[in-house]
Homo-oligomer: A and B are copies of this chain.
Amino acid sequence: MPNAQDVLFKTLADPTRRALFERLCREGEQTVGALTAQSGVSQPAVSKHLGVLRHAGLVRDRHEGRQTHYSAQPGALGPLIDWTSRMAGFWQSRFDDLEDLLKRMDQ
């Protein structure tokens, strides 16, 4: 029974997959071909990774002719942010010098 954090952590744990997501966040919508060109792995590998990302809700696809455009859905990072905040919160309730961490979360 995988919860939201589970899926997100597992999905983002792979460097190649995380790099794809990062690229989509940085540069916006991309075709599979464009993503493959810079990924260092084969097109089927990219397609598989994109499928996993889509399953986690981190990207969406848009078909246009014979090419597929993928784009990031950073809203899906919500559960990750929640989990991290919760962990930091537990810690904060027991200790005080958390300012550095909180500052980073603030921006």
Which residues of chain A have a CB within 8 Å of any CB of chain B? 2, 5-6, 9-10, 12-13, 15, 18, 21-22, 25-26, 28, 72, 74-75, 77-78, 80-82, 84-85, 87-88, 90-91, 94, 98, 100-101, 104-105, 107
CA distance A37 to B26 in the complex (A): 45
Q: Are A107 and B91 in contact (CB under 8 A)?
A: no
Please, which residues of chain B bring their CB within 8 A of the CB of A91? 25, 72, 74
Q: Nearest-CB distance from A98 to chain B (Å)?
A: 8
- Among B5, B21, B78, B107, which residue has its beta carbon within 8 angstroms of that of A18? B5
Given A12-B9, A25-B91, A90-B26, verify A85-B104 contact (CB < 8 Å).
Answer: yes
CA distance A6 to B19 in the complex (A): 11
Please, which residues of chain B bring their CB within 8 A of the CB of A72? 87, 90-91
Q: Nearest-CB distance from A93 to chain B (Å)?
A: 9
> Which single residue of chain B is at the shortest CB-CB distance from A85?
B107
Given A9-B9, A15-B6, verify A77-B90 contact (CB < 8 Å).
Answer: no
Given A9-B12, A13-B9, A18-B9, verify A101-B87 contact (CB < 8 Å).
Answer: no
